[in-house]
A and B are shown apart, each in its own frame.
Chain A
Amino acid sequence: MAATEAPRTWPKLDVLRPVPSELHPATDNPDLLEINLGPNHPSTHGVLRLVTTLDGEIVVGLKCEIGYVHTGIEKNIEQKTYWKAIPYVPRMDYLSFFSGETAFCMAVEKALELEVPRRAEWIRVLFQELARLHSHLIFLGTGSVDLGGIALLFYCFRARDEVLDLFEMVTGQRMHPRYCQVGGVAEDLPRGFEPKCREFIAFMRDQVDQYDELIAANPIWLQRTKGIGVLPPDFALQMGMTGPNLRASGVPYDLRSANGGYGAYREIGYTPVTEPAGDTHARFRVRIEEMRASLDVIEKVLDGIPAGPVIADDRKVVLPPRHELHTSMESLIHHFKLVTEGFTVPAGEVYAPIESARGEFGFHLVADGGSKPWRVRLRSPSLVLLQSLAALCQGVYLADLIAILASIDPVLGDVDR
């Protein structure tokens, strides 16, 4: 491929005024039509209400109204001990659920300065990538429905089921497994997991090729996506966009590789996937390529996973092994104290971001020295990326608004928390 391509010139996209996240109609033409897209509409991927002003079929005004699935998770977590808060977090970004667990545990570990065994880090990477696959599969399936092609949805949901089977095999739960623990993961991989996972990788590689073939040369798909909603990288960054949407505009920024990566990505290595075009098509492409990259990472984990413990050996934080409870009084006391009171975390403010399926995802954690967090706030990639929607949609057709919304991939649980 041509490495000497001239740097591309991006179309000018200014931050909207006066409100950066809202598009106001330029005229007060009485023929303009204001419609509510959502809050209950399949194309809004959850409960998002878009107050859209139309001039004929052209979008001239757009406002995102959110909060319909706000459940006060952050407030609830303040009442829970740290380890009881873990089940709440995957319910925020429910498509990339394992990222939530990992990010929360990493923030607590950072505040505790607790070291995590290598094997646990590798297992976390394995499941983060599986969760990413899960999220991208749903993105691709529902995104194709938004563009009018229903076949891909069934293919993607079939493959998604295989991902959930792997979660079930290891954790006993298909979604929201609470597998990640502060200090590591709850249990080791079961016998028979590796062959099943390798089988899945082969199956999935074939599937991704099929999806690719299904849409790569499809003229309707290309017409609906190419050149639509072009996102220049500097504008994306001004609006706080991270993750695949930013990489689809050619910026190779990925927390899995930035500064050498975090956790076991430091050992496994990762090269960010980018697409140069920055349009809706590129945002679909970048996720298809990321699925391939995720499969490569999963294979590397299976090939190179080190032996050893899967959870830290700090009895003041980590539950003792079950069998010790029958023989050791000390273990019983530790168990009791951890379950009833929880462990305490030194006072201070930490933030440990990870790369979830939709970008920089991390918990801003304020500890007060007690056993419950003082304040937890999710830096939610979906909340941030919704702000760019209005600017991307100025002057496009209503149908393209649906395509653009699908391509930036917000999850409303993550937006509203």
Chain B
Amino acid sequence: MSDALLQVNSPTWGAPDQAAADRLEAALGAGVVERRVEHRGELTLDVPVERLPDVCRHLRDHEGYDLLSSVTGVDYLGYEGEVAGYWGGGADGRDLNRSASAGKRAVPEAPGPKRFGVSVALAKVLTVTDGDHRRLRVRVWVDEGEAVPTLTGVYPSADFHEREAWDMLGIEFAGHPNLRRILMPEDWGGHPQRKDYPLGGEPVQFSDEV
């Protein structure tokens, strides 16, 4: 049967670029990579938030990561609690009827020390000569009110991504030249993709009920 199946893990990532992480530590000091996470063949490097631009500049100039694929903010508020689902059950879970979660962890650990994770996805495009395009994710953690240094100086294409993370999650990017709302109206209150922002219930715009 197995020859009838294709490999699922998308090869667009290439092999985990541990060597780049090693060289990064050699160049910028051992503390620069706080943690390496490998999940489904994807390598994520957790770095101290104030080192983020240095790390990205090093990866761009010395490792050939010339494309910033995206900057994604994730709000982990309540992540380590009960899993989302229609029948979450009580505090003990719902073992007998947990169909597909059997053997899997029902209550995940918090993946990082703080509320927000900001993942910066990098890729190699032009610098690749041997056809081995690799990807890497650099991640920082911040709490409410803490700022991430902007990447627009290293990768100009971070501009819209960072504005979106500010707009949707309220993550501030220090030094961003134009940190305005991008998708929501400029006078909108709150940051809609935060986990404590409800779905529905917001006032209807342009109506008399406002």
Partner among B39, B79, B183 whose Cβ is within 8 Å of the Cβ of A67: B183
- Do B121 and A364 touch (CB < 8 A)? yes
Within 8 Å CB of A111, what residues of B?
40
Shortest distance between the CB of B59 and any CB in chain A (Å) = 14
Binds B, one of A47-55, A145-153, A292-300, A342-350: A342-350
Within 8 Å CB of A266, what residues of B?
6-7, 11
Within 8 Å CB of A224, what residues of B?
none
In whole angstroms, how far apart are the Cα atoms of A121 and B7 in the complex? 10
- Do A255 and B12 touch (CB < 8 A)? yes
Contacts A19-B159, A113-B9, A352-B10 given: A70-B184 contact, CB under 8 Å?
yes
Whether A166 is near chain B, meaning CB under 8 Å from some CB there, is no
What number of B residues sit within 8 Å (CB to CB) of A? 73
Within 8 Å CB of B126, what residues of A?
233-234, 237, 251, 253
Shortest distance between the CB of B111 and any CB in chain A (Å) = 7
Whether A4 is near chain B, meaning CB under 8 Å from some CB there, is no
Shortest distance between the CB of A343 and any CB in chain B (Å) = 4
Shortest distance between the CB of B2 and any CB in chain A (Å) = 8
Partner among B8, B70, B181 whose Cβ is within 8 Å of the Cβ of A377: B70
Q: Which residue of chain A is the closest to B83 with respect to CB atoms?
A: A370
Shortest distance between the CB of A64 and any CB in chain B (Å) = 9
Binds A, one of B23-31, B98-106, B141-149: B98-106
Within 8 Å CB of A348, what residues of B?
39-40
The contact string, 1 if C-beta is below 8 Å from chain B, for chain A 231-251, is: 001100111101000100001
Contacts A240-B155, A259-B14 given: A351-B137 contact, CB under 8 Å?
yes
Partner among B10, B66, B193 whose Cβ is within 8 Å of the Cβ of A110: B10
Whether A262 is near chain B, meaning CB under 8 Å from some CB there, is yes
Partner among B121, B125, B182 whose Cβ is within 8 Å of the Cβ of A351: B121
Using a CB–CB distance below 8 Å, which chain B residues touch chain A? 4-14, 37, 39-40, 42, 44, 66-70, 72, 74-76, 79, 83-88, 97-101, 104-109, 111, 119, 121, 123, 125-126, 131-133, 135, 137, 152, 155-157, 159-161, 164, 168, 177-178, 181-185, 192-193, 199
What number of A residues sit within 8 Å (CB to CB) of B? 86
- Do A372 and B84 touch (CB < 8 A)? yes
- Do B105 and A342 touch (CB < 8 A)? no
Contacts A15-B156, A21-B159, A360-B69 given: A115-B184 contact, CB under 8 Å?
no
A-B contact pairs, 15 of them (CB 8 A): A20-B159, A67-B182, A79-B199, A121-B6, A238-B155, A242-B125, A258-B12, A341-B87, A344-B85, A347-B109, A347-B111, A348-B39, A370-B84, A371-B86, A377-B72
In whole angstroms, how far apart are the Cα atoms of A21 and B88 in the complex? 45
Contacts A79-B199, A114-B8, A239-B157 given: A344-B104 contact, CB under 8 Å?
yes
- Do A75 and B104 touch (CB < 8 A)? no
Using a CB–CB distance below 8 Å, which chain A residues touch chain B? 15, 18-22, 66-67, 70, 72, 74-76, 78-79, 81, 106, 109-111, 113-118, 121, 233-234, 237-240, 242, 246, 251, 253, 255, 258-264, 266-267, 306, 308, 316-317, 334, 337-338, 340-344, 346-354, 360, 364, 366, 368-372, 374-375, 377, 379, 383-384, 386-387, 416-417
- Do A368 and B79 touch (CB < 8 A)? yes
Partner among A15, A334, A374 whose Cβ is within 8 Å of the Cβ of B99: A334
- Do B10 and A106 touch (CB < 8 A)? yes
Contacts A262-B11, A317-B100, A350-B42 given: A20-B105 contact, CB under 8 Å?
no
Q: Which residue of chain A is the closest to B10 with respect to CB atoms?
A: A352
Within 8 Å CB of B67, what residues of A?
237, 240, 242
Within 8 Å CB of A79, what residues of B?
199
Q: Which residue of chain A is the closest to B200 with respect to CB atoms?
A: A79
Contacts A67-B185, A106-B10 given: A387-B157 contact, CB under 8 Å?
yes
Partner among B85, B87, B111 whose Cβ is within 8 Å of the Cβ of A372: B85
Within 8 Å CB of B135, what residues of A?
351
- Do B183 and A70 touch (CB < 8 A)? yes
- Do B79 and A374 touch (CB < 8 A)? yes
- Do A259 and B12 touch (CB < 8 A)? yes
Shortest distance between the CB of A82 and any CB in chain B (Å) = 10
- Do A240 and B157 touch (CB < 8 A)? yes
In whole angstroms, how far apart are the Cα atoms of A337 and B4 in the complex? 28
Shortest distance between the CB of A394 and any CB in chain B (Å) = 15
Q: Which residue of chain B is the closest to A74 with respect to CB atoms?
A: B193
Shortest distance between the CB of A107 and any CB in chain B (Å) = 9
In whole angstroms, how far apart are the Cα atoms of A19 and B150 in the complex? 12
Contacts A118-B5, A368-B79 given: A353-B12 contact, CB under 8 Å?
yes
In whole angstroms, how far apart are the Cα atoms of A113 and B185 in the complex? 40
- Do B5 and A116 touch (CB < 8 A)? yes
Within 8 Å CB of A18, what residues of B?
177-178
- Do A115 and B79 touch (CB < 8 A)? no
Contacts A240-B67, A262-B12, A352-B12 given: A346-B105 contact, CB under 8 Å?
yes
Shortest distance between the CB of B14 and any CB in chain A (Å) = 6
A75-B199, A347-B105, A352-B10 given. 17 additional CB < 8 A pairs?
Answer: A19-B178, A22-B178, A66-B183, A67-B184, A117-B4, A238-B155, A258-B133, A262-B10, A334-B99, A341-B85, A344-B101, A349-B44, A366-B74, A368-B84, A369-B83, A370-B83, A372-B84
Q: Which residue of chain B is the closest to A379 with respect to CB atoms?
A: B70
Within 8 Å CB of B69, what residues of A?
240, 351, 353, 360, 379
Shortest distance between the CB of B119 and any CB in chain A (Å) = 7
